[in-house]
Structure 1
């Protein structure tokens, strides 16, 4: 097959345009470098009138907002999903791993919840606390300066609380709690469970001339036409294109492999253009993989050569190993005090205004590590299917409704806004026997070998989910409510969601000082090829009980500064 090779030589080729890739592009372009950003999906700008989906009614969707054809993407805010036609993945040994991919400029940052939490000092050294897993080779003090810079560049609201493992930052004013959140605050504090303002990356105050301020439409999951919320395209890549460097975008381009020379150093990437189905090569001094933890592992494992027969960066046989996702378990409750609500606009930001950070000592519990609690509820805009009970259409959220016409509407209106839901998001222990690898017999529609997953939850994660469910029921009762549905049983793993469903997968190219026990060093540089870096969540040694995006951004900035330093010293 003829492969077309570009004659342009870039200073850096960045694969992926999400949080890690966007931050790398911004830092390197600001320094004057010539950059190529290679993205598997199409171009996207939420401010483009042809692509704008914000402020549309559910009935303007072909499916009335049901979200049945594309997860998170009913209004075209996520070009991808758990399953993508022509791009499969496989499972082994009774694995049920859900791999989410968002193929579009900005990746998952277009539709994510924007919960922007720093990892704390314990999170980098948790083996010292409970003896499980491994410590990171770096500590909070190494990342703090970059967390600070990310806070100031992007903007995050919240409050300084002085919690030792939930570090404070540079916060914008948080929005006020809504009515259901006031009920939650009262119920939680009755149980001595802390509640603090959320820390989320939506602008509640003007920070520059390029971005607007949140006007509380509650539709951040569709990105934002005024760039008030953080998305990689609008807040990193577009500004990078206006800075001192050159940023060329290669969209609809699926990277097959990192190419290498006779010495084993990277020379660039090979990619398939989705539009003409031809293969092309780009040349560059440095290759930065930020395609997501699993996609970057797949690219490395498919990058085989005489110098790297086991895949690029895989002399340790650890590429793809130690894959782990956040734990997740959910529950909802009916709160009679919220019945017969007056209808008014209380949309707020696209997500929770308050949350509960981890508050207990695991020494008193039968599982390690912790979880935070996310809260949902209120009277936001419903979509088709909202509150439906698939087993009994005379029930709304499992509550008794019935009849047709006016009587049905009256019942639904009586209960609307009276349901509060909780999501626990916790830390799993990273294990070598949870991994992704190349399937030896399956390729995607572009002829690229696909990933095969092996993953099982341990008793640690199941016991953590049990504690979540017990806590949720206590909270509901404390608010004077009733839990909806039956309590998940041991046979149901206490409602623990399948791995991958929280979309926080990390750890496939883990960081370490010993090249026999890790894939990248403390600056996210491959041990086996010093001009290849990983700036997605692959280098994470552990996940923490926080969402991973803020740490991806901080570590990507840190690694990109190191790239600039090494280029200046002519070490790469």
Structure 2
């Protein structure tokens, strides 16, 4: 496919590729400093308050299939334009690889539908190699990032409680919501066996932090993105204020092909395909910031070859795309017999768990694996749907019916309705989310034989779990069953074994992939320095999850936000000093 490239005469101070957590934060900080910014987004404009885009508080029968099913990964009303498969935008896999790549094509990216689990990395998380001898330490420590975590807490808002747990740093918290009934049952059982449960830390406003955002009204639909901006989405909380400065030009449906460079190898802007007219355009800028997501940024850099950068931009180390890693994930369902036939009342709460379990075994070195996991919980009386919480195949033959007989799967009419009434609110689930050890042999690269519908070469993934992750998943299931037994519950379904890697989700399924443009002090073994600045290209920065040296057992978003703010402050000062 060939295009006639259309050059623009305007030159921006900064071009930011991607409008998610990292790109949104960079746009917010740098626009307020007065810099003229081009913000590139591969999907359409999005505002959850727009009546034509709002899905919050819509009934299932308002969906295209009247709630009977969905063609979208998380349901028709989940606010993610995209998924693991996008028409015309393939990716490939090496034989034996089962990596699933989620892409969200919309203003704000994945932050419109994520779980809002907003955890700080702890001191140990930045220096894990010192503890277990595996992987690499970050070149920075918690003390370098803490001031920015503090700023993010105060500006965006996160609820929680101060717990004084060494590697689970406390922050500036809003009041947490009260636990739901099923969470109190789980907590009672978990604490019997030494598994802690504490209030969650979610970026959802239980009270207002400014006059432009409303407080949560507990509809439990955060995955639909909040029409009163009561939860954190980059589009609502970062991009909108950045646009109000008058310093940001937003380019939507702009599929960036590559970063442009001059003869000296410095970045001069980007080339992109307009998805509406399929023409190629350029945007000129003094500085380019990559924030397209870890794998998308790596793809763009690897496709940005030139005489000065024959191995791809910022890739003299041959590390771009390497050390790709995602969180581990395994889960189990259970049932609380005491909650069968329970009384109905409004138990919605926030769109996520009210309690969670942080990793509690940091001092243990004899577990058979090196890195930990946290546990997330769900359950209660949310919107009922057959097949989600009422899967009779899961509970076939395990549960008592009204007359004491063992319940079989299936049922129609009145029998089916009675099942729903009996089991509604009594089922729950728990999911482990753990840290994998980054390995150079897990990577993404450009497939030389495949392009997408815009003519851009696609990524090819090479990824395998190791015994570290398998043993961790096995431990997750040990914990799940102990907690369920201790609380007097019934474990549903069959426990996965070694033949299924103990129920490990495919890499990429947890949507926490990081590490493809890793941070380090040595240009020979890393892509960016401790301020997210490319070693090879001083006017190129990467502020998504790519620079992560290791993931921790925490969700990455809060750290992406903190590092993006830190990198933006550094860039701001360097530009004022005329160093860039």
Class of the TM-score when normalised by the shorter of the 2 chains = over 0.9
Match of 1:553 in 2: 561
Q: What does the per-residue CA deviation read over 1:79-119, in whole Å, with 9 as the maximum and x for residues that have no partner?
A: 10000000000000310000000000000000000000000
In structure 2, C-alpha distance between the alignment counterparts of 1:162 and 1:76, rounded to whole Å: 35
Match of 2:496 in 1: 488
Matched-pair contact (CA < 8 Å) for 2:384–2:424: no
Secondary structure, counterpart of 2:231 in structure 1: coil
* Aligned with 1:19 (options 8, 21, 30): 21
Match of 1:354 in 2: 355
In structure 1, C-alpha distance between the alignment counterparts of 2:394 and 2:155, rounded to whole Å: 49
In structure 2, C-alpha distance between the alignment counterparts of 1:546 and 1:497, rounded to whole Å: 17
Secondary structure, counterpart of 2:168 in structure 1: coil
Match of 1:179 in 2: 181
* Aligned with 2:473 (options 438, 454, 465): 465
In structure 2, C-alpha distance between the alignment counterparts of 1:51 and 1:396, rounded to whole Å: 43
Match of 2:322 in 1: 321
In structure 1, C-alpha distance between the alignment counterparts of 2:475 and 2:78, rounded to whole Å: 36
* Aligned with 2:140 (options 138, 141, 155): 138
Match of 2:226 in 1: 224
Deviation of 1:383 after TM superposition, in Å, equals 3.6
Say if 1:189 and 1:394 are closer, same or farther in 2 by CA, change over 3 A. closer
Matched-pair contact (CA < 8 Å) for 2:78–2:223: no
Q: Does 1:42 align with 2:53?
A: no
- Of residues 377-386 and 42-51 in structure 1, the stretch that sits farther from structure 2 once superposed is 377-386
Say if 1:339 and 1:88 are closer, same or farther in 2 by CA, change over 3 A. same
In structure 1, C-alpha distance between the alignment counterparts of 2:65 and 2:408, rounded to whole Å: 26
In structure 2, C-alpha distance between the alignment counterparts of 1:76 and 1:503, rounded to whole Å: 15
Match of 2:297 in 1: 296
Q: Does 1:416 align with 2:424?
A: yes
In structure 1, C-alpha distance between the alignment counterparts of 2:344 and 2:397, rounded to whole Å: 21
Secondary structure, counterpart of 2:139 in structure 1: coil
Match of 1:205 in 2: 207
Q: After superposition, where does 1:327-342 map in structure 2 within 5 Å?
A: 327-342=328-343
Match of 2:403 in 1: none
TM-score normalised by the chain length of structure 1: 0.98
Deviation of 1:401 after TM superposition, in Å, equals 5.3
Q: What does the per-residue CA deviation read over 1:423-452, in whole Å, with 9 as the maximum and x for residues that have no partner?
A: 000000000000000001000000000000
Deviation of 1:385 after TM superposition, in Å, equals 3.7
Matched-pair contact (CA < 8 Å) for 1:387–1:396: no
Q: Does 1:105 align with 2:107?
A: yes
Q: What does the per-residue CA deviation read over 1:326-351, in whole Å, with 9 as the maximum and x for residues that have no partner?
A: 00000011110111111111010001
* Aligned with 1:155 (options 132, 157, 160): 157
Match of 1:405 in 2: 413
Q: What does the per-residue CA deviation read over 1:101-143, in whole Å, with 9 as the maximum and x for residues that have no partner?
A: 0000000000000000000000000000000000000000000
* Aligned with 1:367 (options 361, 366, 369): 369
Secondary structure, counterpart of 1:556 in structure 2: helix
Say if 1:395 and 1:58 are closer, same or farther in 2 by CA, change over 3 A. farther
Q: Does 1:564 align with 2:572?
A: yes
Matched-pair contact (CA < 8 Å) for 2:389–2:428: no
Deviation of 1:387 after TM superposition, in Å, equals 3.7
Q: After superposition, where does 1:477-556 map in structure 2 within 5 Å?
A: 477-556=485-564
Matched-pair contact (CA < 8 Å) for 1:120–1:140: yes
- Of residues 114-123 and 361-370 in structure 1, the stretch that sits farther from structure 2 once superposed is 361-370
Deviation of 1:512 after TM superposition, in Å, equals 0.3
Q: What does the per-residue CA deviation read over 1:352-378, in whole Å, with 9 as the maximum and x for residues that have no partner?
A: 000000001331311001000000000
In structure 1, C-alpha distance between the alignment counterparts of 2:395 and 2:366, rounded to whole Å: 43
Secondary structure, counterpart of 2:365 in structure 1: helix
Say if 1:218 and 1:399 are closer, same or farther in 2 by CA, change over 3 A. farther
Q: After superposition, where does 1:373-412 map in structure 2 within 5 Å?
A: 373-383=375-385, 385-387=387-389, 389=391, 400=408, 402-412=410-420
Matched-pair contact (CA < 8 Å) for 2:205–2:230: yes
In structure 2, C-alpha distance between the alignment counterparts of 1:77 and 1:206, rounded to whole Å: 23
In structure 1, C-alpha distance between the alignment counterparts of 2:416 and 2:84, rounded to whole Å: 35
How many positions carry a matched residue from both structures? 571
Let me know the Cα RMSD of the aligned residues.
Answer: 1.6
Matched-pair contact (CA < 8 Å) for 2:327–2:553: yes
Secondary structure, counterpart of 2:208 in structure 1: coil
Q: Does 1:81 align with 2:83?
A: yes
In structure 2, C-alpha distance between the alignment counterparts of 1:302 and 1:564, rounded to whole Å: 28
In structure 1, C-alpha distance between the alignment counterparts of 2:547 and 2:75, rounded to whole Å: 28
Say if 1:566 and 1:441 are closer, same or farther in 2 by CA, change over 3 A. same
Match of 1:432 in 2: 440
Deviation of 1:192 after TM superposition, in Å, equals 1.4
Deviation of 1:395 after TM superposition, in Å, equals 8.7
In structure 2, C-alpha distance between the alignment counterparts of 1:89 and 1:206, rounded to whole Å: 42
